[in-house]
Amino acid sequence: MESTKICVIGLGYVGLPLARLFSTKYETIGFDMNQARVDALMAGHDATLEVSDDLLQSALASGFTCTTNIEKIRNCNFYIVAVPTPVDENNNPDLTPLYGASSTVGKVISKGDIVVYESTVYPGVTEDECIPVVEKVSGLKFNEDFFAGYSPERINPGDKLHTVEKIKKVTSGSTPEIGKKINEVYASVITAGTHLAPSIKVAEAAKVIENSQRDINIAFVNELSKIFNKLGIDTQDVLEAASTKWNFLPFKPGLVGGHCIGVDPYYLAQCAQRHGYNPEIILAGRRMNDGMGEYVATQTVKAMLKKGIQVLGSHILILGFTFKENCPDVRNTKVIDIYRSLKEYNVEITVYDPWANPTIAKHEYGIDITNELPSDTYDAAILAVAHDRFSEINIDTLLKSTHVIFDVKGFVNRLLIDGRL
Residue 352's CB is within 10 A of a number of other CB atoms, namely 21
Give the pLDDT band (50/70/90) at residue 258. Answer: confident
- Active-site positions read 260
Instruction: Say which CATH topology domain 291-420 has.
Output: Rossmann fold (3.40.50)
| H/E stretch holding 9 | strand 5-9
* Gap between the Cα atoms of 189 and 171, Å rounded: 13
Q: Are 358 and 351 in contact (CB under 8 A)?
A: no
Torsion of CA 145, 9, 15, 209, to 10 degrees: -60
pLDDT in tens, 212-250: 999 999 999 999 999 999 999 999 999 999 999 999 999
366 pLDDT above the threshold of 90: yes
Helix (H) and strand (E) counts for the chain?
Answer: 14, 13
Model confidence, pTM: 0.90
2 pLDDT above the threshold of 70: no
* Gap between the Cα atoms of 262 and 403, Å rounded: 32
Give the pLDDT band (50/70/90) at residue 90. Answer: confident
Its CATH architecture, for the domain 5-207, is 3-Layer(aba) Sandwich (3.40)
Average pLDDT over the chain, rounded to an integer: 93
Q: Where are the domains of the chain?
A: 5-207, 291-420
Least confident of 21-30, 55-64, 154-163, 180-189: 154-163
Give the pLDDT band (50/70/90) at residue 412. Answer: confident
